[in-house]
Each structure stands twice: as C-alpha cells, then as structure tokens.
A = this chain, B = another copy of it.
Amino acid sequence: MKAKVYVNLKSGVLDPQGKAIQHSVELLGFSGISDVRQGKYFEIALDGSVDDSQARESVEKIAREVLSNPIIEEYRVEIES
C-alpha cells in the first residue's frame, strides 16, 4: 500500500520561495503566470501488516506530527491500495 502526503503553506502565509520561482520564470520569458507556491510531497510505502483504515490513521498522524508545521502549513493525505 502506498500513501501520498501533500504539504503546503496555508493561503495567508507568505511564500518567498514561490515568489522567487515566479520571478525567475517571468525573467525566462514565460507569461501568464500569476502565482507560484511551493510545497512538499511525500510518498510513504506501507507493508502488508496494516489495513486501509489503520494506514490512513497512521499516515494522517505522521503528516500532522512529523511532516507538517500545523501553524503555517496544511496537509492532504491520499491512500492508494
């Protein structure tokens, strides 16, 4: 089983790295880009000893406690069997 966790900054939080990318992309001549935001993406492989609901529960906990900073970031978990 595989889980994917997406972590990104909450919408009100300034993202200087995203702004830097946006600026570079404009300098390179790409037009029509109004905003760029950077986040993190994790692929977690789980062994066969856990079922779907246990997997979701543990991955949600890992996402909340280890992979994200809940003050400024939000996360999304997807489980693939």
Chain B residue, CB-CB nearest to A35: B45
A37 CB–B CB distance under 8 Å: yes
Instruction: Determine which of B38, B65, B66 lies in contact with A40 in the assembled complex, contact meaning CB atoms within 8 Å.
Output: B38
Instruction: Determine which of B7, B36, B47 lies in contact with A32 in the assembled complex, contact meaning CB atoms within 8 Å.
Output: B47
Within the oligomer, what is the number of copies of this chain?
2
Known contacts A32-B54, A33-B47, A36-B45; can you find 20 more A-B pairs with CB under 8 A?
A7-B41, A8-B41, A8-B43, A21-B66, A24-B66, A25-B62, A30-B61, A30-B62, A32-B46, A32-B47, A32-B49, A32-B58, A33-B45, A33-B58, A37-B43, A38-B40, A38-B41, A39-B40, A40-B40, A40-B41
